[in-house]
Amino acid sequence: MSAPPPALTAPPSARRGVVAHRIGRAVASTARLLAIFVPVFLLGTFLTYLLGHLSGRSPAYLQLGDAASPQAVAAIEHKWGLDRPFLVQYGDWLGSVLHGDLGTSWYNGLSVAHALGQRAAITLSAAGVALVLGIVFGFLFGALAAHFHTRWPDRAITTFTTAISVLPPFIVGIGLAAVFAVGLQILPAAGYVPIQAGLGPWLSHLILPAIALSFDTAADVARQLRNGLVSAYRGNYVTGAIVRGLGPRRIFFVHVLRNGIAPALAVLGLKFPNLLGGAVIIEAIFGLSGYGVYASQAAVRGDVPAVQGVLVVSVILVVVFNLLVNIVLNRVTPDADRGV
């Protein structure tokens, strides 16, 4: 029989503990992510509410106009509970938010949650399609550029992505509308059709705003992925895989992609807020009554609960999306599993 190895620093035998250890680690890393999520959510909502409070806006002026008497103002503020201490108001509001109640609009007295719910579908459709386009084209361009590293396709893609990343979405949007809706007349210039009315009409109304929104994301994902893949290709483990006789396709998909994808995924997490923010302008151009338009109108009117509602939903969307990105990152590169 063979003698024991000289691995003097070998860890103690722990075969039975392996599985439990793996599960424990997965739970621990998810718990760590949640532990980040909760304070970020609390801080986000607190700042959101504080901003509304500091704005000094009051429903009284919105409803009564300039001619309001101090008594009438006080009566309305009392009705809305605005005469209570700030922290009590915040606690009250946060409690409702957790129950899905975002309050009532000062402007028209309608439920903010209800109004947002209708509009969020439009915005999320546009942002979602933009996200898919950004991922698909970003990954395609990034992978191609890395594959043809330093040759002409790489240079062409780099030039193209640099060019489109500096074009603001509203310019792209207007340009696209001018070409495809006004010039070629193959796509509608404005409006929205719910998905229930059919995938074709829904997509034909969304595709132009989504393309306009996606440029920035596609460009950044492509650039990060290219660099990530190029440096992963330089890794010794790629030489190792070649020497073991693995084919180029397997090396790319199993060994290179997995280790080069992390920066692109991280950038995706950063880009998501941009997609939501960009929607405000894009919706205005393409006549979509989405949540961006709702937010800008509410802000102009001084409708504090509506603005707060939009911000809370945005905070939740962004934090949840980043949580997902981090979970994926931890799964793809377990050696980097050191928290968020």
Binding site for another protein (CB under 8 A): 2-11, 13-15, 18, 22, 235-237, 239-248, 250, 254-255, 258-259, 332-335
Q: How far is the CB of 13 from another protein (least distance, A)?
A: 5
Q: How far is the CB of 150 from another protein (least distance, A)?
A: 9
Query: Can you tell me the distance from the alpha carbon of 268 to that of 139, in angstroms, rounded to the nearest whole number?
Result: 11
Asked if 304 and 81 touch (Cβ cutoff 8 Å), the reply is no
- What is the per-residue DSSP string for 44-111? HHHHHHHHHHHTT--HHHHHHGGG--HHHHHHHHHHTTTTS-HHHHHHHHHHHHHTT---B-TTT--B
218 or 241: whose CB is closer to another protein? 241
- Say which residue the tokens 């060994």 belong to: 255
261 or 275: whose CB is closer to another protein? 261
Q: How far is the CB of 217 from another protein (least distance, A)?
A: 25
9 or 71: whose CB is closer to another protein? 9
112 or 143: whose CB is closer to another protein? 143
Residue 168 structure tokens: 């603001």
Angle, vertex CA 60, rays to CA 59 and CA 62, nearest 5: 65
Measured distance between the N- and C-terminal CA atoms of the chain, rounded to whole angstroms: 47
Residue type, 299: A
46 or 237: whose CB is closer to another protein? 237
Q: How far is the CB of 235 from another protein (least distance, A)?
A: 7
196 or 236: whose CB is closer to another protein? 236
Q: How far is the CB of 147 from another protein (least distance, A)?
A: 14
Q: How far is the CB of 223 from another protein (least distance, A)?
A: 22
204 or 333: whose CB is closer to another protein? 333
Asked if 89 and 82 touch (Cβ cutoff 8 Å), the reply is yes
Query: Can you tell me the distance from the alpha carbon of 150 to that of 143, in angstroms, rounded to the nearest whole number?
Result: 13
Asked if 292 and 123 touch (Cβ cutoff 8 Å), the reply is yes
Asked if 262 and 142 touch (Cβ cutoff 8 Å), the reply is no
Asked if 68 and 60 touch (Cβ cutoff 8 Å), the reply is yes
Side-chain half-sphere CA neighbours of 210 within 13 A: 24
48 or 326: whose CB is closer to another protein? 326
Q: How far is the CB of 22 from another protein (least distance, A)?
A: 8
Q: How far is the CB of 234 from another protein (least distance, A)?
A: 10
